[in-house]
Amino acid sequence: MSTSAQSQVALVTGAAQGLGHHIAARLHDAGYRVVLSDINLDAAQQAATALDGSGETAMAVRLNVAEQADFEAALTQVLERWGALHVLVNNAAVTRATPVMEISADEFNDIVNINLGGTFLGCQVMGRYMADQGYGRIINMSSLAGQNGGTSTGAHYAASKGGILTLTKVFAKELAAQGVTVNAIAPGPIDSPMVKALVPEERLPTLLGAIPVGQLGDADFIGDMVVQLAKPEAAFATGTTWDINGGLFMR
C-alpha cells in the first residue's frame, strides 16, 4: 500500500460546515482525496463541490455517526470509489447549553450517543478495516471542555468530549501493532459557528479576556494539526492529545 499523502484517502465526519469543513479543506490542500461525510447529504455535496467541482478528489457521503450501519455503508462507498481508506477524522458533534440541573436523561443520552458513541463507532468500524490493511491514521476531535468541564458548553457535551480522550487511548493500544495510530486534538474556543452560537456577541469580550492569548483559535490551524497527525511519518505519535487552547489549560 502506498503511504504518500497524494495517494491517500481521508474521511471527515461532520464535514459539511464549520471546523469539519476546514479540516477537510486542509487535508485536500495537502493532497489527500477527501470524503466529506455529514448527516445532511445535500450540504456535504455542496461542501465537496466547493473543494473540487470535478469530483475527482472530493466526494460526499451521508453519515449519521450514531448509526453503525452508516459507518459501514460509508466505508463501502469509499472503497467502491477509491479502493482504500487511510485516514479517519471523528469530528461530528452536537451540543446544547442546557444548565446541568435541567438536562433530561433523554437529552444527555442523545448528546453522548452522537459525540462519544459516534467516535467509538468510527474507531471500531474504520479501525477494524485499517488494522486489516496494516495502516491507518485516526484523529478524534475532543475539546477543552472535556478537560476542564466546560464553560459555555453543556455538561453532556463536556462529558462526551472527556470520554473521547479515554477512547483515544483505548483504541491506540488496541490498534498500534497493526500500524494504526489514534490521536486526539482538544481545541479551546475556535472562531467557528458552534462557538458563536453558544456565546452571544455581548459576551465575546469577556470570553476573549479569559483567554491568555486574547483571541479565538483558528480553524485552519486545527486542520493543519490534523494533517500532521495524518501523515505516514506520524507513526510514533499515538494515544496523545494535542492541546490547542490559547493557554486556558496547561499540563
What amino acid is encoded at 229 in this protein? L
Q: Which of 241, 250, 184, 247 is nearest to 216 (CA)?
A: 247
Sign of CA dihedral 173, 65, 48, 72: positive
Q: What is the dihedral of CA 51, 52, 58, 62, to 10 degrees?
A: 70
Dig out the grid coordinates for 173 from the structure: 493500544
Using an 8 Å Cβ cutoff, are 78 and 61 in contact?
yes
Catalytic residue status for 157: yes
Using an 8 Å Cβ cutoff, are 221 and 244 in contact?
yes
Active-site residue identified among 32, 129, 135, 157: 157
Q: What is the C-alpha to C-alpha distance for residues 233 and 210, in angstroms, rounded to an integer?
A: 36
Positions annotated as catalytic residues are 157
